[in-house]
């Protein structure tokens, strides 16, 4: 299940990032993700693995717990 998608979108927008910009940040830290995959995560259509939560938090410069 995906319970963090809405929070990822909210935090991304608060930080003034587009989906493309966030995926670029993810790719730079070793998380190979496309913009369309991020869109699916934000729409809560795609499942999010534990390691992906860590990468998303790092790319957003937040603690993992802030995504929940």
- What is the separation, in whole angstroms, between the first and last Cα of the chain? 13
- Alpha carbon distance 64, 49 (integer Å): 13
Q: What's the alpha-carbon Rg for the chain, to the nearest Å?
A: 10
Q: Which domain holds residue 15?
A: 5-67
pLDDT digits (tens, 9 = 90+) for 14-52: 999 999 999 999 999 999 999 999 999 999 999 999 999
Distances (CA, A) of 42 to 12, 67: 10, 12
> Based on the structure, what is the number of domains in the chain?
1
What is the pTM assigned to this prediction? 0.94
Name the one residue in this structure whose structure tokens are 């730079």: 28
CATH code at 57? 1.10.260.40
**Length of the chain in residues, anyone?**
68
């Amino acid at each position: 299940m995906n319970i963090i998608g809405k929070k990822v979108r909210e935090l991304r927008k608060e930080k003034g990032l587009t989906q493309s910009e966030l995926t670029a940040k993810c790719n730079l830290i070793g998380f190979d993700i496309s913009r369309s995959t991020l869109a699916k995560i934000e729409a809560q259509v795609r499942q999010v693995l534990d390691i992906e939560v860590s990468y998303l938090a790092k790319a957003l410069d937040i603690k993992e717990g802030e995504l929940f």
